[in-house]
């Protein structure tokens, strides 16, 4: 009887939430539950396997909601897996939301955070600090600063050369990205092949293996605040995606709005690169998948992309750390997964019709 009553309550709760999100209530419940369930499942994956319930009990015990079931489980989940899994969750969510925002901002489905040069810039900043043998806080600060500098440089170039036009913005991003990538290559060439080069190369490939709670906290605040800002700009992004003239005629201050969005994306991307290196493709591919599920309205798309991207990067990171004894680089795996998926999405979306000139 009690189980029946609970099932009725659950059904009534689901109906209430579904009514609050008309038409797509169940879909949104699934989208929000997906990264949480993936995180919980992945916390149990690895050499020491735990069920979802064991992982949940360990988290509850750590939060003071019950006894800690097992010291070994607690050590594995809380110290080894939780920081990197949460970092992957936030990184995936932040990069995907950034990609969705940039695609709307540039009205171009082929751009991602790398388009504005921020990934290459942040990669150079972090590499420079590693090359100079500075510690983790300096690597984070260096990556963050260089990422922002590269973006500001791109925005300045686009304004100077093309009055902030989208084409000039994208071209400037490519040029600045190539410049920072070349400088990173020079650093690799000059670095000590025994001591610095492996560390530098592995960091640039993208990995969450070095993430601890301190680094996660460093990364999470800019990502959370950035995602909130992007979600707030969702409705304006719809109008921005119609092009500058239409957006201006609809009453938007296009230059100001675009600058805010690009700087926000830069802060998110630089924060992610600073702790996890360069994780490409997520910001490009995930918004396309999200657009097919929740539609093109950026108010939904930003949130949907964040949910899917967070779940995806947690799964990829778990795959990378669990497949072999030595970790696979996350950036390489996201590229291997992302390229064919992107191709498939392009084919499908092309048939559905991106009207684009």
Q: List interacting residues with other proteins (CB under 8 A).
A: 104, 107-109, 231-233, 235-236, 238-239, 241-243, 245-252, 291, 295-297, 299, 352-357
Between the alpha carbon of residue 153 and those of residues 56, 142, 148, 247, 258, the distances in Å are 46, 16, 8, 25, 15
Rg (CA), the chain: 21
**Least distance from C-beta 253 to other proteins, angstroms?**
10
Cβ–Cβ contacts within 10 Å for residue 32, how many? 15
CB of 26 to other proteins, least distance (A): 19
Smallest distance, other proteins to C-beta of residue 235, A? 6
> Cβ neighbours of residue 206 under 8 Å, at least 6 residues apart?
276, 277, 278, 279, 280, 329, 330, 331, 332, 334
Q: Return left, alpha or beta for 64; rule: phi > 0 is left, psi -120 to 50 is alpha, else beta.
A: left
If the CB atoms of residues 128 and 247 are measured against other proteins, the closer one turns out to be: 247
Residue closer to other proteins, measured from CB, 194 or 357: 357
Question: With respect to other proteins, which residue has the nearer C-beta, 105 or 120?
Answer: 105
Nearest CB to other proteins, comparing residues 203 and 342: 342
Between 230 and 269, CB nearer to other proteins = 230
The CA-based angle 207-210-215, given to 5 degrees, is 105
Smaller CB separation from other proteins, 92 or 234: 234
Of the two residues 54 and 297, which places its CB atom closer to other proteins in the complex? 297
Give the C-alpha separation, 296 to 238, whole Å.
8
- Cβ nearer to other proteins, comparing 5 with 256: 256
Other Cβ atoms less than 10 A from the Cβ of 205: the count is 18
Number of residues in the chain: 357
Please state the closest distance from residue 297 (CB atom) to other proteins, in A. Answer: 6
CB of 31 to other proteins, least distance (A): 18
Query: Whole-number minimum distance, CB 354 to other proteins, in Å?
Result: 7
CB 145 to other proteins: min, Å: 27
The residue whose two tokens read 């979600």 is 231
* Tokens at 172, concatenated: 């400037």
- CA 233 – CA 97 distance, rounded (Å): 11
Q: How far is CA 189 from CA 89, 198, 221, in A?
A: 33, 12, 34
**Minimum distance between the CB of residue 181 and other proteins, rounded to whole angstroms?**
28
């Amino acid at each position: 009887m009690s189980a029946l009553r609970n099932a009725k309550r659950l059904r009534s709760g689901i109906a209430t939430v579904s009514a609050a999100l008309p038409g797509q209530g169940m879909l949104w419940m699934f989208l929000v539950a997906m990264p949480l369930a993936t995180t919980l499942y992945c916390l149990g994956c690895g050499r020491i396997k735990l069920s979802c319930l064991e992982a949940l009990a360990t988290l509850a015990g750590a939060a003071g909601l019950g006894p800690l079931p097992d010291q070994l489980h607690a050590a594995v989940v809380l110290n080894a897996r939780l920081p990197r899994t949460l970092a992957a969750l936030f990184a995936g969510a932040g990069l995907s939301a950034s990609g969705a925002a940039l695609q709307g901002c540039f009205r171009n489905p082929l751009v991602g955070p790398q388009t504005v040069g921020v990934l290459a810039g942040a990669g150079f900043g972090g590499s420079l600090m590693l090359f100079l043998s500075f510690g983790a806080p300096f690597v984070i600060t260096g990556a963050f600063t260089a990422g922002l500098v590269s973006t500001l440089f791109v925005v300045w170039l686009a304004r100077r050369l093309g009055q902030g036009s989208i084409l000039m913005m994208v071209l400037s991003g490519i040029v600045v990205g190539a410049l920072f990538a070349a400088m990173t290559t020079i650093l690799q060439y000059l670095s000590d092949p025994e001591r610095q080069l492996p560390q530098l190369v592995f960091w640039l490939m993208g990995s969450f293996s070095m993430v601890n709670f301190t680094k996660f906290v460093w990364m999470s605040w800019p990502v959370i605040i950035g995602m909130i800002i992007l979600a707030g700009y969702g409705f304006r992004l719809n109008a921005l995606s119609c092009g500058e003239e239409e957006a201006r005629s609809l009453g938007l201050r296009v230059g100001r709005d675009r600058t805010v969005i690009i700087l926000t994306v830069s802060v998110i991307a630089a924060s992610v690169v600073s702790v996890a290196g360069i994780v490409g493709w997520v910001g490009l591919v995930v918004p396309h998948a999200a657009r097919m599920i929740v539609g093109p309205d950026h108010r939904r798309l930003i949130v949907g992309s964040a949910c899917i991207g967070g779940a995806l990067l947690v799964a990829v990171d778990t795959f990378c750390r669990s497949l072999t004894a030595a970790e696979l680089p996350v950036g390489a795996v996201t590229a291997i997964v992302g390229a064919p998926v992107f191709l498939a999405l392009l084919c499908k979306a092309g048939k559905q019709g991106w009207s684009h000139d």
